[in-house]
Structure 1
Amino acid sequence: MSEPWVLVTGGTGFIAQHCIIALLNEGYRVRTTIRSATRENEVRDYLKVGGVEAGERLQFVVADLADDADWAQACEGCCYVLHGASPTPSGDQQREEDWVRPAVDGNLRVLRAARDARVKRVVLTSAFGAVGVGHSPEYRRPFDETDWSDLSGNVAPYQKSKTLSERAAWDFIEREGGDLELSAINPVAVLGPALGADYSHSIRIIVSLLQGQAGCPRINSGFVDVRDLADLHLLAMTHSAAKGERFLAIAGESMWMTDVAKVLRHHMGEVASKVSTRELPNWLVRLAARSNPNMKSMAPLLDVNMNCTSEKARRLLGWSPRSREEAIVATARSLVSLGLVG
């Protein structure tokens, strides 16, 4: 009997590509969606960097989250769907609604197609941004899966879109999901081996440090290696205990940026010679935020503890991720090997 088909949405994405690699290595056949057929060769080349020659075990379907067309074809014959395609910062979003509506509608579009195609389970790639944002400093830490971001607090449009789109997915399953099952994965900042120049937003943290940014803001973040995140998606896809559950994905505890810099300095030798472990005072970051968009997005996060726990995934699914230090070093080494940093 042939191995089942799994649909992975958004095949040009960093997490999606590592999920495809994990699925193919486990013997599954994979179908993935891309918005333009011209990117198929790029995706296949990235997978080769990850050690996989996909051949005919990987199919491509052109589909757009903003359009109903082709989603029935994408889901047809699939036993599972890993849905991580989502609007990301592009510069085109002018209003909050430009973030929220596409994310909500996209999730519902995929879920309807999966239900109608009699898919067994959808694993939704949500985000920590749907869990631990907008809370007061006094709110309990570490965050866990019972927490939802407080949208009455200081929440960026992207994080609001992840919160509302995940809630919409759970509401859909309850109201009209039929036999379709849902699990959700909520990763923190995703690091790990880059496969090419189109890497995760979080990897820019490591790139900036290696390229000699002036210092480290008082920003706190959790980290997880993308290979472990892919493994968690597969566990959530097949494990009976994952039905109807959400899982935070973090390796160990969260870290301050100065600690990330110190890991690079300790492990990367001459490559990390430009890395500054100097902590930038908050007043300087806030001053820079007046004219620097990147600093403006950081300012609300200064001194905010973002720690969360993956105890649930470890206990229920037996997930065992690499350490946060291993994730940081693997990221840096991949950037060097691909010639993406000097």
Structure 2
Amino acid sequence: MSSELILLTGASGHIGFRTLRFALEHGYRVRAVVRSQQKADAVQNNRALIKLKADSQLSFVEVPDFTIPNAFDKAVTDDVKYIIHCASPMPFSAPTTDHAYEEYIKPAVDSTLEVLRSAAKRPSVRRVVITSSCIGVIDLAAAFSDTGKVFTGDTRQPNMDGPFEPGTPSFVAYAAGKVNALNAAEEWMGKHQPHFDIIHLMPTYVLGRNDMCDSVAGMQLDSNSIPLNFMLGTEASPQPMAMVVNHIDDCARIHVEALAPRIEGNQSFMICYDCDSKPQWNDAKGIVEKHFPEAVKAGLLPCRGDVLSVPSILDSKKTVETFGDFKYTYEDAVFSLVNQYLELCEKESGHVNSLKD
């Protein structure tokens, strides 16, 4: 157990909120950076957090704009020992954007650099953990086709500098933000040689219960939407997808365990089920039929959609060697997200409780 203080960004997001809970559960104090009091209230009043009874360990600081100079100076005080930077523009809110650079790339790069600059002003900071993404280190084509290449947390890609025309897909803009932010952070660290070290984490599609989601519609705004959509659909997905997933609880655990002194700094880790496990996106249908047969029979989960899985092209052996085996499976993740989906359906319609196995 530790009472050391973590500064955490992104606490209202899927990864950030579960990381917050994991940190509090393990005795850390957390100062959550939020853009508004409304965000702070949403986090603090979440039922999963209230159950922890950890109010004395949690505080908030409001930073409306993460990208302006000195944005985090008031948040990174002399008692902050660690920083976990989870906040990032996400690609699920809209299918396309006419402002790719302004909405995705610039915020990802600028907020990351501002975190590092503020950390450099405080000798108390020992480590910064940054949530990157697998899409920040792979060849973008490998997300949708079998290129035969294998990527690790130590793979790097050149900056994606555009031009980004109106209508650039949000997924491409998100990828560019992750690639460019990772490269910018490593360039800054090399140039300034600060007193702290850094850990980059590269999650894949993160699946499992999202406690900050309170509606069925909200489940379409994170990576849970991918298996959920084809379980609810009746047609084949028009595009193959790389089968690269991890459970939210493993992802959050690794974020917090990355603070441990036993973990050598200035490293990068892929957070993904091992290539050798070879799960398929369509395995979700059998999982749902096994655990929620009545919901399938009632048509709430038709399980008639289809998506072609591109073989995993990510190597997470270094992560397993450092943090231990992943504790959860694709089945656990699917069960968790579908269970939440049915809970939200019940909340919104009142007719689902009897359909769970």
TM-score range, shorter chain: 0.7 to 0.9
Indicate the residue corresponding to 1:94 in structure 2. Answer: 98
CA distance in 1, matches of 2:136, 2:115: 19
Indicate the residue corresponding to 1:41 in structure 2. Answer: 41
> Which amino acid letter does the alignment assign opposite residue 42 of structure 1?
A
Out of 268, 272, 283, the residue aligned to residue 246 of structure 1 is 268
CA distance in 2, matches of 1:331, 1:229: 15
Indicate the residue corresponding to 2:341 in structure 1. Answer: 335
Q: CA deviation at 1:307?
A: 3.0
Contact (CA 8 Å) 2:230, 2:304: kept in 1 or not? no
Q: Does 1:184 align with 2:200?
A: yes
* Deviation larger for 52-61 or 253-262: 253-262
> Which amino acid letter does the alignment assign opposite residue 144 of structure 1?
T
CA distance in 2, matches of 1:20, 1:330: 19
In 2 relative to 1, CA 2–146 (structure 1 residues): closer, same or farther, beyond 3 Å?
closer
Q: With structure 2 as the length reference, what TM-score do the two structures score?
A: 0.80
* Deviation larger for 89-98 or 227-236: 89-98
Out of 201, 223, 230, the residue aligned to residue 202 of structure 1 is 223
CA distance in 1, matches of 2:98, 2:328: 38
CA distance in 1, matches of 2:295, 2:76: 44
In the TM superposition, what whole-angstrom CA distance separates every residue of 1:300-320 from its partner, at most 9, and x where no partner exists?
xx7744431221111123253
Contact (CA 8 Å) 2:232, 2:305: kept in 1 or not? no
Q: CA deviation at 1:326?
A: 1.1
Q: CA deviation at 1:47?
A: 5.4
Indicate the residue corresponding to 1:309 in structure 2. Answer: 315
For 1:81-160, list aligned pairs within 5 A.
81-89=83-91, 90-91=93-94, 93-98=97-102, 99-118=104-123, 119-135=125-141, 139-149=147-157, 156-160=172-176
* Deviation larger for 48-57 or 218-227: 48-57
Indicate the residue corresponding to 2:284 in structure 1. Answer: 260
Q: With structure 1 as the length reference, what TM-score do the two structures score?
A: 0.83
Indicate the residue corresponding to 2:233 in structure 1. Answer: 212
Query: 1:18 aligns to what SS in structure 2?
Result: helix
Indicate the residue corresponding to 1:15 in structure 2. Answer: 15
Q: RMSD over aligned Cα, in angstroms?
A: 2.9
In 2 relative to 1, CA 53–150 (structure 1 residues): closer, same or farther, beyond 3 Å?
same
Gaps of 5+ in 2: 163-168, 353-357
CA distance in 1, matches of 2:273, 2:283: 15
Q: CA deviation at 1:41?
A: 2.1
Gaps of 5+ in 1: 281-301
Contact (CA 8 Å) 1:215, 1:276: kept in 2 or not? no
In 2 relative to 1, CA 88–331 (structure 1 residues): closer, same or farther, beyond 3 Å?
same
Contact (CA 8 Å) 1:134, 1:149: kept in 2 or not? no
In 2 relative to 1, CA 2–238 (structure 1 residues): closer, same or farther, beyond 3 Å?
closer
CA distance in 2, matches of 1:121, 1:7: 11
Contact (CA 8 Å) 2:146, 2:311: kept in 1 or not? no
Q: CA deviation at 1:246?
A: 0.6
Contact (CA 8 Å) 1:262, 1:277: kept in 2 or not? no
CA distance in 1, matches of 2:11, 2:89: 14
Query: 1:87 aligns to what SS in structure 2?
Result: coil
In 2 relative to 1, CA 213–175 (structure 1 residues): closer, same or farther, beyond 3 Å?
farther
* Deviation larger for 184-193 or 260-269: 260-269
Contact (CA 8 Å) 1:210, 1:272: kept in 2 or not? no
In 2 relative to 1, CA 46–309 (structure 1 residues): closer, same or farther, beyond 3 Å?
farther
Out of 79, 82, 85, the residue aligned to residue 81 of structure 2 is 79
CA distance in 1, matches of 2:70, 2:234: 44
